[in-house]
Chains A and B, each alone.
Chain A
Amino acid sequence: MNIDSIHNGVVIDHITAGSGMRLYDLLGLDRTDLSVAIIRNVNSHKMGKKDIIKIDADIDVNLDVIGYVDPGATVNIIKDGVLAEKKAIDMPELLHGVIKCKNPRCITGVEQELQHVFRLTDRQKKEYRCVYCETKAQ
């Protein structure tokens, strides 16, 4: 399968196979009119299978979202058709406004315009908890 290479834009590579669509949603790419390719289950020497997202536009992607969904992913910035920069990905200590707390008893469900914030509580288990009620992110 051939996907055109991009001239100026972002390539999110080494996404765990199956996580590409979730990352696409959480990055809000579904709400843009950018040219985006989601390539699923690509053969990979290192990973066996992987997903790739190619964004044909020079935008700032939210690295915290990528670090939350898949800290093993890599982000390559393409300028004038060549690799200009590789961004380091890490699990963010705090995650602002990306996921919502599902606890019906949490203040985030009723307080006006209160941003949902999650804190990394267990790096090994990739576990995040709501800073308000400490409920685990689902």
Chain B
Amino acid sequence: MRSVIDILDLSLPELDALIAAAEDIIAHPDDYADACRRKKLATLFFEPSTRTRLSFEAAMYELGGNVLSVAGGNTSSAAKGESVADTVKTVSCYADIIAMRHPKEGAALVAANNAKVPVINAGDGGHCHPTQTLADLLTIYREKGGFTGLTVGLCGDLKFGRTVHSLINALSRWSGNRFVLISPEELKAPSYVKTEALKKHGVPYTQTTDLESVMPELDILYMTRVQRERFFNEEDYLRLKDSYILTPEKLKNAKKDLAIMHPLPRVNEISVAIDDDPRACYFKQVLNGKYMRMALILMLLKEAGTI
């Protein structure tokens, strides 16, 4: 049974196909209104979420399907200590496809290994978040026309930021891109991301703590939140949380066609004064995420022979 746990589970031709499908959904939404009729998506969210869960649910409804939902570990048998394996074996009896978010890294792989239906990883701790990357890729495609020759700045929490890890993995597979990794020393990208994605594909990258000095180089600036929930020590969080706050002043040397992205939610790392800047793309990402999740649900249900 095919599941999507990591963005690397999808080949480049499959990513191209998903983007093409999403574009077709955007152009002809009525053609897809009954594509998943009588099919059920289970959204199992054992960690808080607004966008991702609603995006999956909106995606399934727009495909004519239905949704079963567990929101918050406290409302399911997970609170009684039920394992991930037992949970998905149970949910497989009710649903045709599962989207799961869990605070533990690797939980999605455990789910995929035990479910009888396709599993989509909707975030497993600080590890992976492939459907956010699909949203990011469609946004980059629509803003930049492709995935090559880009200088991509990733700023903020690059250590625990799962969206960053997935995006680096994805964009490293296209040629001609360059990464600028902007973070405090304590929140630098993990070595495995650098060795298995950037170095493996020979992708040039630089690391810096200074956002403004690299701003003029960037085609894309991907801001991230310093995530309180990833810290064991509150003092460390308080010390690092305001490391980078993007303001109109800091954008004065940025390119005119810079794409400012953020997986959301933001706390204060992008000033609301930037929301009306035409370069701000973060709410476009939200919408694009729904279309890519529709495309992914369709792809997995077709491969499973469910539709």
A interface residues, Cβ below 8 angstroms from B: 103-112, 114, 121-122, 129-136
Contact = CB atoms under 8 A, between A and B. Distances in A.
Given A105-B104, A107-B105, A114-B110, A136 B126 contact: no
A103 B106 CA distance: 11
B85 A112 contact: yes
Contact of B192 (A111, A132, A136): A136
Nearest to B111: A107
Given A111-B83, A112-B83, A134-B127, A103 B192 contact: no
Contacts of A129: 192
Interface string B106-149: 11011000000000000011110000000000000000000000
Given A105-B105, A106-B104, A122-B195, A132 B110 contact: yes
A132 B127 CA distance: 9
B84 interface: yes
B192 A107 contact: no
Contacts of B16: none
A111 B85 contact: yes
A105 B124 CA distance: 10
A101 to B, nearest CB: 8
Interface string B180-215: 000000000001100110000000000000000000
A112 B102 CA distance: 16
B89 to A, nearest CB: 12
A74 to B, nearest CB: 31
A121 B192 contact: yes
Interface string B207-236: 000000000000000000000001010000
B106 A108 contact: yes
